[in-house]
Structure 1
Amino acid sequence: MRVSSEVQRGLLQTIQHSSFPTLTLQIPSPNKSDDGLRSSLSYEDPDGDLIVPRKKSNVRRKRPNRNALVTTTNLMHLRVAASSDVDECGTQLWRGALLLSELLLDNNKLIEDVSVLEVGCGIGLVAIIASRYSRIFFATDNDLETLKLTQHNIDRNVHGRIRVRHLDWTDLTPVERNGIFGWTSDELTAFQSASVILARSTLQFLKFLYGRFNKSEFLVMYLTVEKRVVFAIDTMSSISLGYDVFQQSICSHPNIRTKTVGKSHQYQCSACDRNQRYFVASPIPVISIPQVFQYVRMTTLELWRVDGIIVNENESIVDKKSAV
């Protein structure tokens, strides 16, 4: 089944380049105060020529902006697929990526100078923006065509330190391997120490994300989820499969759960089903985030912060023993 993002159809102007349309977006310049950011950024213009960011001239200006980059750094050129199969929808631009990007533009200290892991990198929009503030950014996906498209977009836009890598979401730890999207031993070490996870989908990632929380010393996750309602023939009712599964995976007993003695993001809750995975999560008001891009923010689009997981007593004991 083919799907097409309505966001792409209405977002700015689309210019045709062979089978891939290109979106041109305007974004704010990075506001880091040190010159180190400027020296770490690199990008190419739409013709593939390297552009060196330079300070604006202070001639005839009473108060020059010492940290301003040339205006071309405000433009982002992104290739997207006009349509795709359902299992390859990462090659299109969706509302979740726009909202997550806006969160980071407005609150870049959330990822400043830390290792960040993005699960499901899409067309690379979030990676390009977030890498300007993070120490290292891992843009991952399990689809080869999505990774190729992400790498293309990263190569043609201003960015920080990004690694585009293949990640099997059924395996908590990637293995070292050769290839353009393979992992080096140093990258695997940085992967394990990532303290922030960004994600947009939920249904296929929940097991992986729970496992990451269970293995990490410190971790926080920001994710967007959209409530897409469909009619289920077997139950003869309207459901939102991915959204409903995520909601059912959130612990709703803040007055009962307690922190474990071990890791700071592990909790215990006597009211939660021991046979199910639960997250400790809270919604972030979408209205509190300034809108940068031109798209319709549907009321079905939500943003969540996940601070931990619910573990049963046996899991906590095993984990503490393994850490000794």
Structure 2
Amino acid sequence: MGINEVWSWVETDKGKILDIGLKIAAETVRFSKQTGVKPCAVVSGEAKEEIGRLKRYGIRKVYVLEADDGSHPDVVPSLQGLSQLLAAIQPDHLLFAANSLGNEWAARLSIRFQAGVLGEIVDYGKSKGKLQLRKKAYGGNVHALFTLEGGAMSILTISLDALEKLEQPVEELEIVPFSCRCEQPRIVLQKVEPIHWSELSLHEADFVIGVGRGVTKEGMRTIQKLAEKWNCPIGGSKVADESGLITREFRIGASGKNIACHIYLAIGISGAPHHLAGIKEVKHLVVINPETNAPITENAELVIAMDFEKVIPFLLEMQTETLEVVS
């Protein structure tokens, strides 16, 4: 049995709490309201000066991992420290953001502690007195429902699309230091390189460009320059696939892939029903299309009613740095 607490791992970097860390902290509070347990966070001691920020998002207790005197001087308390903390005390639930780090840690910790694990949770709620979890399945085309039965610790990763940085301030924050032994890992990360825009999958990207019937092969060259500058993939409609503008794996819609990115820039797409079905989970839809009566414009937050050949060069000129998506 747990200790009536739900924990989340709050990611940090160089002494700062990352935005994804604040989002999973806010999600922990939402989860705690469904389960009736105390919302807590686990943070590396490198960011102890920033711990107070978590009060704004409703966290009531923070476990701070601090390296002891015998630790390797260059190792920041992270997975080793969290593992040692879990060996000493276990919550009812442990949450991670469903990014590459969270998914890997969830799998490794579930094996070590023989805990139940479920990934890519998009929503949850009570049903007949039990917590029901909804997760992506079959490439995001369907949702599968699971029931959390209780008992041993459960480890869950929350879909990045479901995370929101909701502020819900509390007045008091309990801080619990935990001393851990951090040794030099056998495998050391040397470098992180961004994935080239042409290799990004539609499911990995925060920003996706979509092209349709209104785009010519000549115009694609200009759009590819924008994709390279923003480092985002180019998908498109069924017509774009059939005309050779994109490959089959980048077709978006009922006959292709569903996307749930933060921003979808639709260029020259009219908005056939099967394409709209594939973008219904997009957070922000921007359309470049001179035909203002096109069906896709009905759901757009912004419509630029101009020819894309005039708009894209302007975007290339004004955008001098790599695009950073902010939800």
- What range describes the TM-score normalised by the shorter chain of this pair? under 0.3
TM-score, scaled to structure 1: 0.27
- Which structure has the greater CA radius of gyration? 2
Which of the pair is proportionally richer in helix? 2
